[in-house]
Amino acid sequence: MGMTMTQKILAAHAGLDSVEAGQLIEADLDLVLGNDITSPVAIKEMEKMNVDGVFHKDKIALVPDHFVPNKDIKSAEHCKCVREFAYRNEITNYFEVGEMGIEHALLPEKGLTVAGDVIIGADSHTCTYGALGAFSTGVGSTDMAAGMATGKAWFKVPSAIKFNLIGKPSKWVSGKDVILHIIGMIGVDGALYKSMEFVGEGIKNLTMDDRFTIANMAIEAGGKNGIFPVDDLAIAYMKEHSKRNFTVYEADEDAVYDEEYTIDLSTLRPTIAFPHLPENTKTIDEIKEEIKIDQVVIGSCTNGRIDDMRIAAEVLKGRHVAKGMRCIIIPATQAIYMQAMEEGLLKIFIEAGAVVSTPTCGPCLGGYMGILAEGERCVSTTNRNFVGRMGHVKSEIYLASPAVAAASAITGMISCPCQLS
């Protein structure tokens, strides 16, 4: 029986010739990730283990990003805990304010994630790195602690769903629309503990930023991971950003998939997830009523990359956000912030009446930098729109692409750039 791309990576890291779905394995880890919320818990668990340091100071990444810069005393204490642990253990990849960024945008940019890796992170959106052909998945803080101590983790080998992407997306349709379409199609538990494996000639029409966005939200369909084949674009990205060697794995022709879907990218339309689940999707054409909004957030580990900044700027240039509208734009890393500044994008944002923040996850999880009051609505390029996710339990979040978010900021209601005069 053939293996999927994910199964081949796991077999190699478990020292096995082959694995099959449902099999329990122990695999070697290439990277263990934690942030300012999850790392303190893992650090305390490590202290209980009485282990002598970490398994490899170069294979751990600690990225304070959720409440950074610190919003209060508690968040400052959490970051202090992580900082002291990093210094004590001489962690190479510790990224403090000034050089930090949102973890899932920062690590590929820093060249820490490459094809063929097995990566765990105490954050559910660790599945982002599948865009580069890695197996990456979110774990709990206890598993993070064990990974930091031993360099190994237990996995149940996932079965897989194949998504065959064909065609070319039209203007204003991006990776965010692709993954929202898929989640709307299969549901938030449609890929529960399965590998979402993306294949097909349509992939060549998706940028790396599109692919990061799609892999990032695999967890919103319940997926264990999302993964893309390693093509010339992915190889070029890794060679630009990383000095590490990488290994390309390809699925066997007789690999077994639980389900297979074909998605024609040329037929997709800008897609919005309505409250309170990512599966509650509608295309812009299906929205017949005016849905007035109070806030727009463009950023996060899902859509804070340079392509996202450029798309938002293209929509906002020469226009102004609606009166009373709060538009918050957050480049995901310092490098993206700098590039956006050099390209003049930040000037466009500010002239349009938006504010630009230093990299942070803040508003995505209702932490700070954009909390919603009762009855308020937000169009956000983040990844979750659960009840109370961005503030009051009676607020509403509409998930969308940067293009739709920017257009909505201009009109004050859910809109697409194609509807702007």
Question: 31-84, pLDDT tens digit by residue?
Answer: 999 999 999 999 999 988 888 899 999 999 999 999 999 999 999 999 999 999
What is the structure's pLDDT at 52?
Answer: 84
Q: What's the CA gap between 13 and 30, in Å, rounded?
A: 9
CA atoms within 13 A on the CB side of 74: 4
Question: 71-101, pLDDT tens digit by residue?
Answer: 999 999 999 999 999 999 999 999 988 888 9
Confidence of residue 361 (pLDDT cuts 50, 70, 90): very high
304 Cβ neighbours under 8 A, 6+ residues apart: 102, 105, 298, 330, 331, 332, 333, 336, 359, 381
- Identify the residue with better confidence: 200 or 98: 200
What is the structure's pLDDT at 231?
Answer: 97
Q: Is the pLDDT of residue 382 over 80?
A: yes
Question: 240-274, pLDDT tens digit by residue?
Answer: 999 999 999 999 999 999 999 999 999 999 999 99
Domain annotation for the chain: domains and CATH numbers: 5-264 (3.30.499.10), 270-419 (3.30.499.10)
Question: 295-343, pLDDT tens digit by residue?
Answer: 999 999 999 999 999 999 999 999 999 999 999 999 999 999 999 999 9
338 Cβ neighbours under 8 A, 6+ residues apart: none
CB 82 within 8 A of CB 43: yes
CB 185 within 8 A of CB 280: no
Residue type at position 1? M
Query: pTM of this prediction?
Result: 0.95
Strands across the sheet containing 194-199: 225-227, 194-199, 159-166, 259-264
Single out the residue of 271, 268, 6 nearest to residue 127, CA to CA.
Answer: 6
CB 104 within 8 A of CB 301: yes
Q: Is the pLDDT of residue 177 over 90?
A: yes
Q: CA separation (Å) from 191 to 14, 141, 148, 176, 330? A: 24, 23, 28, 18, 30
How close are the terminal C-alpha atoms of the chain, in Å?
Answer: 56
Radius of gyration of the chain (CA): 20
Q: What's the CA gap between 119 and 117, in Å, rounded?
A: 6
What is the structure's pLDDT at 336?
Answer: 97
What is the structure's pLDDT at 406?
Answer: 97
Question: 115-173, pLDDT tens digit by residue?
Answer: 999 999 999 999 999 999 999 999 999 999 999 999 999 999 999 999 999 999 999 99
Q: Is the pLDDT of residue 418 over 90?
A: no
What is the structure's pLDDT at 271?
Answer: 96
